[in-house]
A = this chain, B = another copy of it.
Amino acid sequence: MQFTAELRFDDGVLEREFTLGEIPGILWTPGSASASAPAPLILIGHPGGMRRMYPRLAARARHAAAEGYAGATIELPGSGDRPRSAVAEEARADLRRALQAGEPVADEIVDRLVLPLVEQAVPEWRATLDALQSLPEIGGPVGYSGGVIAIGVRLAVVEPRISAALLFAGSFVPRAMFEEARQVTIPLQVLLQWDDEGNDRQMALDLFDAFGSKEKTLHANMGGHTGVPHFEGDEASRFFARHLK
């Protein structure tokens, strides 16, 4: 892991860009006041396109840093400056066509789009976690927050270092992964936008039902994909405070 640029915000938060092999990422650590002890880490997911998502990612990370967490994100395979996948691009176009036509989204489109992404992204997030945990400023439990929900599901199953996950039911999950959802046992908070144009409400409710976790909470709010209410930021902080501290 190589740090390539750094920036200190007025609130003391240190933002550092890094690369892990070919993968670009960003790490935010709390300001000096709270940085005496190693900070628990939240992995900050996104739908792909880290630069495009930067303002929202930085806002989430600085919100978390104010509560004493480090935050980190990496670019997804096939997004941003990373090489495109022809299979994924075609599947994404098929998905967009189905949604625009108001048609049900065929399972095989979701499979083509999401399964290879999960297969590639999850080991990358785990390698990032290895690298981050070797830093003296990172320590303690790890949370995962947001992004492509199928990646969050797989990480919650295979990565024992993740203690709690906040999942955003804002993208399709391959049917084959519902079995995996039953194997999730860590505490979950699941966000659902009731009229999300990029998801299927019943599928999201079925997925919530499938999770094996004893402690899981669904927060459903009105509006479309980008309409998550501002107060859910604080709700996320409180969820992680219950489970990472």
Q: Which residues of A contact B (CB under 8 A)?
A: 194, 205, 208-209, 213-222, 229, 231, 234-235, 238, 242
**Of B205, B221, B234, which contacts A205 at CB under 8 A?**
B205
Closest to A188 in B: B222
A215-B222 contact in complex given A205-B205, A209-B194, A231-B242, C-beta closer than 8 Å: yes
Whether the pair A208, B220 counts as a contact (CB closer than 8 A) is yes
**Docked complex Cα distance between A73 and B216 (Å):** 31
Q: Which B residues touch A213, using CB under 8 A? A: 222
- CA–CA, A213 and B217, complex, Å: 22
A18 to B82, CA, bound (A): 70
Q: Which residues of B contact A208 (CB under 8 A)?
A: 220
B229 pairs with A222, CB closer than 8 A:
no
Contacts of A238 in B (CB 8 A): 231, 234
Specify which chain B residues have a CB less than 8 angstroms from the CB of A242 in the assembled complex. Answer: 231
Contact in complex: B222, A220 (CB < 8 Å):
no
CB<8 Å pairs between A and B, sample of 22: A194-B209, A205-B205, A208-B220, A213-B222, A214-B222, A215-B222, A215-B229, A216-B221, A216-B222, A217-B219, A217-B220, A217-B221, A217-B222, A217-B229, A218-B218, A218-B219, A218-B220, A218-B221, A219-B219, A220-B220, A231-B238, A235-B235
Closest approach, in angstroms, between the C-beta of A63 and any C-beta of chain B?
A: 16
Which residues on B sit within 8 Å (CB–CB) of A222? Answer: 213-217
